[in-house]
Every structure is written in C-alpha cells, then in structure tokens.
A = this chain, B = another copy of it.
Amino acid sequence: MTYCLGILLTSGLVMAADSRSNAGIDDFTSVYKLDLIDVPGKRVIVILSAGNLATTQSVITQLREYSDHGGPRDLHKVKTMYEAAKAVGDTLREVIARDGSYVAPYGSAAGSFIVGGQIAGEAPRLFQIYTAGNFIEASPRSRYLQLGETKYGKPILDRALRFDSPLDQAAKLALLSFDAAMRSDLSVAMPIDILRYEADSFCSTNRASLEKDDPYWSALRTAYGDGLAALVERLPPPPDWSA
C-alpha cells in the first residue's frame, strides 16, 4: 500500500508520504513519493504519489520534462494551483493511455496524487487527483486529503485537527496519523518524507526525511503512547449495568 496525507490550514500546508513500494511482501524497496517543484519566493508545489510506481514515476518525470521545455503543463509557469492539478491529471491520463492496456494483464496501472502548494497571488491550495485524471479540492470543511492506507490514521485527524490548527500542531497530528497506519500495515513504512509549508513564505526548506531512529519521531511516539494510556486511565469507568 502507501500512505500519503495533505493538510490544508489557514497557516499553510503539511504534506507527507511514506516511502515503501512493494510487489508482494517478499519484494519491497524504498522510494520517493513526495516531489517538489519550487521557485523560491514565487511558488511551491508538492506532489504526493500513490499507486502503480511505473505510472506515478512516469507522470512526475514527464511533468519535469514539460517544465524543462516549457509548454502548457510547465509547473514553473502555471498561473494557479488549479492549473497545476489539471496538469498532473492530464499527464496521468497520457501515461495511462500509453501504458494501461499493456499493464492490464499483470495488474492495475492506476495511480493517484495529492497536489498542494501556493502560487503567488493565491492562498495555499490542496487537490486530490483520481486515476481518471479528474480532481477535487480541499476546503475548511474537508481540510485534509489522503491516499492509500487511509483508515487507521483518520480518527486522530477527525478528533484533533482543525482548519485553524497551528502548523506545528498539524505536523504532530500528521506524524501520529502515520504512526497509526504503520502499526497495522507493513506496506506503509519509514522513512516519512514530510514538509511544513508556511502560508505566503514561498519557501520549501522546512522538510525532513524521518528515519525509524529519528529522535523527534521516537520522542513523539513515546510521549503520545504514554499520554494516551494515562488519559484512558483517567476517563470515568462505565457504570455497573447489572444494577
């Protein structure tokens, strides 16, 4: 599987992806599922990928080639994040039209993406691109988007994430959401690539690849586990229903 998460906030964006790719439990490797296109001071575009690795890599590489040679899908030039999402969707359609029927006998060529970022003149925006190439946009009401192994990591976001949560708070929640997914699904694994983007900064340097032994990651998990156990302990016990 895969787990990718994009969070839209008044304060910016948190974008994160795991890095496991596998073709069966006896055949896995570590890949990049977070790609970044940026022009410092002007635009930051982050693309998270899930699905068939050949498909998603082709989409990213093709988009980079379009950017190198100009043209309508040049992510260095698109005027809005909506255009960026459309460029990803159109390129996905192109790759699936090229490879889909050849791949079908062996499995699915499907891929999907989360595209988040900010282009000068707009607020930060966040989109999810389906394998059909169409897409939806996040809003204050649906303020995060997920790909892949989405269920384990959802409750903590629904309970504690708000549209006006500070960026640091959202980054903690994103990592705890990944921890929930990784505890139950071996096909979601470290390192986690994570980027905190502060609205209107047009700067993408606050990012990291967290390995299993990362000290912050370890401290966060331990403190959360201990805190949760203590919290449940403090909650009122159920009444005696025999009475």
Residue positions of A touching B, CB distance < 8 A: 151-156, 158-160, 168-169, 171-173, 175-176, 180, 183-184, 196, 203, 205-208, 216, 219-220, 223-225, 227-229, 231-242
Contact = CB atoms under 8 A, between A and B. Distances in A.
Contact of A152 (B151, B219, B227): B151
A238 B227 CA distance: 17
| Copies of this protein, total | 2
A205 B242 CA distance: 5
13 contacts: A152-B154, A155-B155, A155-B184, A158-B183, A160-B228, A160-B232, A168-B237, A169-B232, A172-B235, A220-B238, A223-B235, A223-B236, A224-B231
Contacts of A152: 151-152, 154-155
A184 B241 contact: no
B196 A219 contact: no
Contact of A238 (B171, B224, B235, B236): B171
A241 B14 CA distance: 13
Contacts of A232: 160, 169, 172-173, 176, 224
B241 A235 contact: no
Nearest to A231: B227
Contacts of A220: 235-236, 238
B231 A231 contact: yes
Contacts of A183: 155, 158-159
